[in-house]
Structure 1
Amino acid sequence: MALMALEWRVMVLLGLLDTCQALLIPRTTFPIGSQGRSLTHFTSSGIKNTTTLLLSDDGTTLYVGARDYVLSLDVSQPGVMEIKHKVDWSPKTSDHEVCRSKGKSEMDCHNFVRVLQFLNTTHMYACGTNAFNPQCSYMNIESFTGSSVSKEDGRGRCPFNPHQRSTAIAVGGELYTSTVESFLGDKPAISRFLSGRGRKDLKLENGHISLNDPTFVSSSFIPSEGKVYYFFRETGKEYTFINDYTVSRIAQVCTSDVGGELLLQKHWTTFVKAQLRCQAGSDLPFNNIQDIVTLPPPEGNNPDDTIFYGVFSSQWPLASGQSAVCMFRLRDIKNVFAGNYYELNRDTQQWRTPQYPSKFSPGECELRKPADKLMFVKDNFLAVDSVGPGDPGLLLVSPDQLYSRIAAQRTRAANGRDFTVLFLLTESGFLHKTVLLAKGPHIIEEILVFTQPQSVKNMLLSITKGVVFVGSSEGIFQVPVSNCSFYSNCAECVLARDPFCGWDHDQAACVEVSAASSGLAQDVEEGNVMEVCKPSQRSSLPHTMRSPVAEKYVQLNEVVRLECPQASRQAAVRWERPGSILPGHLYLQPANGSLSFLASPLTLGTYRCIAEENGYIQTLVDIIVVQRALPRSVSSTPTHSQPRADMVTSQGTQREEVTEVGMEADWEDETEMEAEVRRDDVREVQAATMREEVTKQVPVSDPTNGQEELPAPQEEDVTPTVVRETSSAWKEGMTFNQVKEPLSSNNVRSYYSELVAVSFLLVVTLCMLVAGGVYVWQQQNPSQKIQQGLSKTDEEIASSQEEDPLSANLPQDDMLKEKEQEKSAKQPI
């Protein structure tokens, strides 16, 4: 029963993932270099690994930590990133040689700048790996030069290994970090440096016990709490029934902490941690935190409404390659840290559940603590309860994307309602712009930022500038948060459900909500075009929609493939023909929106690609499939077919004019007379085909040239075959005809004489073969021939002699006498 229950839960989980996959298809995809999405890329010769980003308060300068360099870029203008200053910070030759002697690769023995933080209005603090010998330095923001003071030791402030993740945040001129402070990477630490106001620098006591092989992800300062929160993942030692079980954590320290006196001197007295649980009910959790971002509440709201959005993956094979986004509220975090705590047995390094409620609350920020409380804090810093996701639980589950970075922004729509927009960076290099709706997440668009896998990357959102900066090994990318100008009509603007964009009826353009007046057409929650857009700007009838018209020339029996310019990946695409359906045995319609069929007289004509999204129908393209004209014969054609050819030529000219103007096809309003003409055309095609077959089967003699030719057509049968198909201009009275030339006696050759000669030779050959066979057979059987000769009757001999008198051996009178004697001898006496 337990196995059946597990299988049922797995099936339910897979079903939910399939549903999520159907809902999480990005509406629009923009590849690199796409004209529909502006993307600014900065790269410079010799500058690699531009992954540490810091934006100035005025938003005009972007500071970049790279390999062996610190840069300042001018980003004051949209779509512009230019170097203002560049500081060379390469490691010394001695540091490089020591790094290589310790077995590190040439690639890693550089100075990778991993910390950039403003300490005040004039100086910035920078730290780098410096060939596995971390160093830090003060840098003047105005002159952008290194301080004349010798560089400081960067242990505990910056990682040794450039591939190890770490965090750093400056609060009040003090630096709060989480990293490793050893060359081997086995001494994790959460520390405070540059402590002011006469306070001492602090770090964890026995960091290897308080932290179990952690990977630090992010850190955030909450002013209302006076606390710095750290987010990381580590091995969960409280779970004794499973080995190497990874859990996601949140830890806190108070900025007012000054350490203990007798106990915990120069160590944190407010450090506590708890589990972050990204899980839906009793399903398997997404237990590997990848990144997290803090979104403050709207101005004037309770600070406890601060939200943390995190990206998680799973260590379970069942959920391999999947990601989830969870939301955590500050109110829930405070409640967990105010609860009970496990007790650590330092001899066995095992956690045990307390038998009685906690005597103290380790998470409280106090300047002075009694000794007994410090003893309690020293062994009780892991909360019993875990911080679960806020309502509605899992915000997003991606079954086919691994998200590595996240940024969040709250924006106000045209109706005054606030929406949260997430920017999610995938491992494959896509940036997903997602809006959180009541019905679930909606991926507005995905933009391909970089093509090669990036081991170290970063993302920075500037709300004031309205751009996202993405740092990677391929350079820095600047992506605007809105792309309103891409939508050319009211329907597309509303269907995008982008809270940044709305349709301006006066300007007849899709514009940014923040830069426009009121009265914009927008429906972020539903995307209902019929209610928001004016009747002149939308329609549910496909025949009144203007769409591009294209022609495709084919040959009969050729496989035709029609492509539909799919504007939205969330739309249902189908193909239609005027007044008919597309049978499945003749047409193939794959999921990519194309249409394939075999060219024949019945499949020539007009095809229309229609997209339906959110109940709104629009025509994407009209394609007219026309048979490619065959080369005309050198001989003259009958004069009675010339008027039809002239008609086709003139109508072909009109068809080109229709294509240039972009006329819409209106087959819905076809008159009964036009329908009757179409039926007459079909009958005419069938009759012409039968005449052609009969002509080929009944040759006649031509006394002029001695060749067999087809019978001359009668006056009523000389009408050329016309293939008519409905075009996009039926309503205007246009038809596109194709004329098939009648066969002429001058250009048709007969092979009757050759056939007679070959037949005669074949008969003669067969006779000779038969005679030769009989002769050979008689020569091989002479005895049989003699016996047959003796058995002949007298009548046969007489008859043969009468036929050939020259063959008799006796005179005729003698033979008659002998016969009479024989007869008399036979008579009875």
Structure 2
Amino acid sequence: MHKMKLIPNLVLSFLAHFHWTLHVSSEDTPTVGSRNIPRLLSKDVIRGTFDYPVYQNHTVLFHHEDSGEIYVGGTNFVLKLDLDRYQIAQKIHLEVTREEPCQQDPCENVITVIQRFGDDLFVCGTNGLRPHCWKFVNSSANVTEHQDGTGISPFTYTQNSLSLTVEGDLYAVAPLDKDGSYLQFRRKSGRRANVWMYDGWLSEPTFVSASWVKRKDDPANEKIYIFFREKNSDHNPEADPWISRVARVCKTDEGGSKRFFQNTWTSFLKARLVCGFPEESLYFNRLQDVYVQHAEDWRDTRVYALFTSNWNATAVCIYSMENIEGIFDNSTFKGYDKAVPEPRPGTCVRNSRALPLATVGVVRDHPEMSDWVHSVHYTSPFYVSNNNYTKIIVDRVKAADQNMYNVLLLATDSRKIHKILESGSEPFIISQTQISSNSSIQSMKLDSKKKKLVVNFAEKVYVVDLLSCDEYNKSCADCVLARDPYCSWTPSGCTPTVPEGIQNVFDGKTSVCSASTSDQNQVNRTRRNAASSEDEASLTHLAVPKGVPFYLSCPIDSYHAVYTWRHGGESSPCLQMQSNCLLLLPDERRRTVDRYECISEERDYVNVVKRYRVTEQGDQRPSGNRAPPTQ
């Protein structure tokens, strides 16, 4: 039995301002009982940090999956991070290198590109408004060669750019002028010829991502996919000013003949990327970020795209590469009503310089597909939220049942990371991690082998441990209800998933816990009669003064659960204050001895979270100005 606790007198000012405090304190805290919010507010998942010597206006992250290397580029430096020891393994200084003085102050070399060429590290930076690139042998600090970086790195870090290496070739987007104009997707250097875009193909584009999709059984048909948004040619006031796109070029494209389209893509095609509610003609048109999840069979490759709208909502739509290719291979060409020439425009060929003028002419004048690319869910996005998400990464996780599950890692503009399970057509929001920083998230990379998420801010790099299972460690039921494929219940508690672990990612029902004899008491709590059994929960004894209203407190373990207070056969709703459920007990309703239970209900699990036995102290009133108890 617990010792009797004395509750101090509650000051009237607390009662008067309670609702104001509740509103302010809970503004950034989910409300219990909804599946559209994170189930858990994670706390101890930051496993390491890397501090920058000074505040960084811009940083870029590069991760090489095969080597497990993580590089970060800032102003005048590149760091190699050791995610096992949480320390800096290497630092390369890259000051501005130019003959004439800078015309700007400060004269800085902001790193904007980090890529791999074989064993060498390829780095480019703004170099005081003179973009420049360096190649480091075997990733050491020894420079093997350097070159002009115009068209690879932007002139300033605020300008739009991206880069991609494919089999020794570098593909890049960067302005060719200091004012940021003349922006296009190019093959800039490498084994194959330099190729660029035709001026009329795009309208003020903002490039988001580029990806090479391998075809092990058909490398001659491999393509590079480009994701971007561009200005809408429809100037109707009701039309969104932006259109989101996916485009593709053939990896083997060497440009056209000397007399027509020389050094210009002959295979470029583009299509509209649609995310929204087609039946209502309601679309999220502003593409923000893209993650391409590659598969052994290229047809199974999936594109996870993050969109925003002009009504302050964010959506995630998922696309199949097979469907994207189907649009490019079968749709008619917008604005073209003649017979389609052979070979079909956009087809990958052995020698692009020998393509007929009719085929290249369609690519030049009508590169847009008439049909739109719809998501795999078609009628609606996979996930819609009022959170302003800015970054997306998707991890593929093998669960205890040996099935593979996708977990979306979404970053918000308020420095939160949401972990969302994709199981069927419905998203399940597992948890929310709030990262303490005064700046916004600049970039994010996943080391899937180590299951660590690297999150980059202006002042430091944080490493989030995706295998942090301690927060589900109260019971088998708590571990299973999380539906976190990274975690399963074992005799050692909730631990990183092992084949023999207890887990139910599919629907989170806790009946699977019956296999765990060490947690049988927790299994019994799933029965509703457990709520009235005094053997199933600890009993807290409180002695309170007469004539004073007070609050009972119950901790919130899951924001997906519904919490109620039970007393004398009656039920009262939970009054939420941050991470606690409160029950106000006016003095006139109290008896000599009262019993109260805080009950949580989630899926098939009913749990007595807190039990109180309340007695009165008569007219004795201890002094003190303390808030209600938060046991």
The aligned counterpart of 2:298 is 303
2:514 matches 1:509: no
Aligned ranges 1:69-84 → 2 under 5 Å: 69-75=77-83, 77=84, 80-84=85-89
Residue type of the alignment partner of 1:230: I
Alpha-carbon contact 2:402-2:499 (below 8 Å) kept? no
The aligned counterpart of 1:811 is none
Shift of 1:533: 3.0
- Return closer, same or farther for 1:581/1:308 CA change in 2, 3 Å cut-off: same
Distance (whole Å) between structure 1 residues aligned to residue 488 and residue 54 of structure 2: 43
- Return closer, same or farther for 1:556/1:94 CA change in 2, 3 Å cut-off: farther
- Return closer, same or farther for 1:448/1:241 CA change in 2, 3 Å cut-off: closer
The aligned counterpart of 2:424 is 438
Aligned match of 2:223 in 209, 227, 241? 227
The aligned counterpart of 2:198 is 205
Higher strand share: 2
Shift of 1:94: 7.8
- Alignment partner of 2:477: what SS? helix
Aligned match of 1:364 in 347, 353, 359? 347
- Return closer, same or farther for 1:131/1:55 CA change in 2, 3 Å cut-off: same
The aligned counterpart of 1:218 is 209
Alpha-carbon contact 1:166-1:218 (below 8 Å) kept? no
Distance (whole Å) between structure 2 residues aligned to residue 211 and residue 143 of structure 1: 39
Taking only the aligned residue pairs, the percentage that are identical comes to 27
The aligned counterpart of 1:595 is 583
Alpha-carbon contact 1:48-1:473 (below 8 Å) kept? yes
- Return closer, same or farther for 1:93/1:550 CA change in 2, 3 Å cut-off: farther
Distance (whole Å) between structure 1 residues aligned to residue 320 and residue 385 of structure 2: 25
**Cα distance per residue 1:484-527 (max 9 Å; x no partner):** 232221110111111222222xx2522222xx243x32211221
- Alignment partner of 1:42: what SS? strand
Alpha-carbon contact 2:503-2:512 (below 8 Å) kept? no
- Alignment partner of 2:103: what SS? helix
Distance (whole Å) between structure 2 residues aligned to residue 408 and residue 614 of structure 1: 26
The aligned counterpart of 2:40 is 28
- Name the structure, 1 or 2, with higher relative contact order (CA <8 Å, separation 6+): 2
2:179 matches 1:170: no
Distance (whole Å) between structure 1 residues aligned to residue 544 and residue 384 of structure 2: 43
- TM-score, reference length from structure 1: 0.64
Alpha-carbon contact 1:258-1:266 (below 8 Å) kept? yes
The aligned counterpart of 1:560 is 550
Shift of 1:137: 1.0
The aligned counterpart of 2:371 is 385
Higher helix share: 1
- Return closer, same or farther for 1:430/1:457 CA change in 2, 3 Å cut-off: same
The aligned counterpart of 2:268 is 271
The aligned counterpart of 2:95 is 90
- Return closer, same or farther for 1:222/1:239 CA change in 2, 3 Å cut-off: farther
**Cα distance per residue 1:420-439 (max 9 Å; x no partner):** 11111111111111111236
2:465 matches 1:480: yes
- Return closer, same or farther for 1:458/1:60 CA change in 2, 3 Å cut-off: same
Alpha-carbon contact 2:421-2:430 (below 8 Å) kept? yes
The aligned counterpart of 1:253 is 249
Distance (whole Å) between structure 2 residues aligned to residue 438 and residue 252 of structure 1: 29
2:355 matches 1:326: no
Alpha-carbon contact 1:428-1:452 (below 8 Å) kept? no
**Cα distance per residue 1:224-274 (max 9 Å; x no partner):** 142111101111226778666211111111111111121111211111111
Distance (whole Å) between structure 2 residues aligned to residue 25 and residue 574 of structure 1: 19
The aligned counterpart of 1:180 is 175
- Alignment partner of 1:492: what SS? helix
The aligned counterpart of 2:153 is 158
Distance (whole Å) between structure 2 residues aligned to residue 606 and residue 419 of structure 1: 44
Residue type of the alignment partner of 1:501: C
Distance (whole Å) between structure 1 residues aligned to residue 319 and residue 541 of structure 2: 56
Distance (whole Å) between structure 2 residues aligned to residue 623 and residue 146 of structure 1: 70
Aligned match of 1:63 in 56, 71, 95? 71
The aligned counterpart of 1:771 is none
- Return closer, same or farther for 1:324/1:254 CA change in 2, 3 Å cut-off: same
Distance (whole Å) between structure 2 residues aligned to residue 141 and residue 223 of structure 1: 25
2:559 matches 1:569: yes
- Alignment partner of 1:231: what SS? strand
Alpha-carbon contact 1:412-1:419 (below 8 Å) kept? yes
Aligned ranges 1:344-363 → 2 under 5 Å: 353-360=335-342, 361-363=344-346
Residue type of the alignment partner of 2:241: Y
Alpha-carbon contact 1:572-1:613 (below 8 Å) kept? yes
- Return closer, same or farther for 1:500/1:84 CA change in 2, 3 Å cut-off: closer
Distance (whole Å) between structure 1 residues aligned to residue 127 and residue 537 of structure 2: 60
Shift of 1:97: 4.0
Q: Which runs of 5+ in 2 are unaligned?
A: 1-32, 216-220, 622-630
Aligned match of 2:286 in 285, 288, 311? 288
- Alignment partner of 1:595: what SS? strand
Alpha-carbon contact 2:55-2:459 (below 8 Å) kept? no
Q: Which runs of 5+ in 1 are unaligned?
A: 1-20, 101-105, 344-352, 633-661, 663-829
Shift of 1:291: 0.8
Q: CA RMSD in A?
A: 2.9
Alpha-carbon contact 2:594-2:613 (below 8 Å) kept? yes
Residue type of the alignment partner of 2:205: P
Shift of 1:44: 3.1
Shift of 1:93: 8.7
Distance (whole Å) between structure 2 residues aligned to residue 61 and residue 173 of structure 1: 19
- Return closer, same or farther for 1:512/1:247 CA change in 2, 3 Å cut-off: same
**Cα distance per residue 1:110-133 (max 9 Å; x no partner):** 322111110111x11111122333
Shift of 1:483: 2.4
Aligned ranges 1:702-717 → 2 under 5 Å: none
Residue type of the alignment partner of 1:436: E
**Cα distance per residue 1:751-809 (max 9 Å; x no partner):** xxxxxxxxxxxxxxxxxxxxxxxxxxxxxxxxxxxxxxxxxxxxxxxxxxxxxxxxxxx
Alpha-carbon contact 1:28-1:568 (below 8 Å) kept? yes
Alpha-carbon contact 2:166-2:212 (below 8 Å) kept? yes
Pair member with larger Rg = 1
Q: After the TM superposition, which of the residue ranges 414-423 and 587-596 deviates more from structure 2?
A: 587-596
Distance (whole Å) between structure 2 residues aligned to residue 95 and residue 39 of structure 1: 45
Distance (whole Å) between structure 1 residues aligned to residue 184 and residue 348 of structure 2: 20
2:474 matches 1:500: no
The aligned counterpart of 1:797 is none
- Return closer, same or farther for 1:193/1:491 CA change in 2, 3 Å cut-off: same
- Return closer, same or farther for 1:43/1:355 CA change in 2, 3 Å cut-off: same
- Alignment partner of 1:499: what SS? coil
Aligned ranges 1:394-405 → 2 under 5 Å: 394-405=380-391
Distance (whole Å) between structure 2 residues aligned to residue 238 and residue 370 of structure 1: 32
Alpha-carbon contact 2:382-2:425 (below 8 Å) kept? no
Residue type of the alignment partner of 1:512: P
- TM-score, reference length from structure 2: 0.83
Distance (whole Å) between structure 2 residues aligned to residue 552 and residue 201 of structure 1: 79
Distance (whole Å) between structure 2 residues aligned to residue 45 and residue 533 of structure 1: 53
Alpha-carbon contact 2:593-2:616 (below 8 Å) kept? yes
Distance (whole Å) between structure 2 residues aligned to residue 41 and residue 195 of structure 1: 36
- Alignment partner of 1:188: what SS? coil
Distance (whole Å) between structure 2 residues aligned to residue 545 and residue 212 of structure 1: 70
- Return closer, same or farther for 1:271/1:558 CA change in 2, 3 Å cut-off: same
**Cα distance per residue 1:692-738 (max 9 Å; x no partner):** xxxxxxxxxxxxxxxxxxxxxxxxxxxxxxxxxxxxxxxxxxxxxxx
- Alignment partner of 2:157: what SS? coil
2:602 matches 1:613: yes
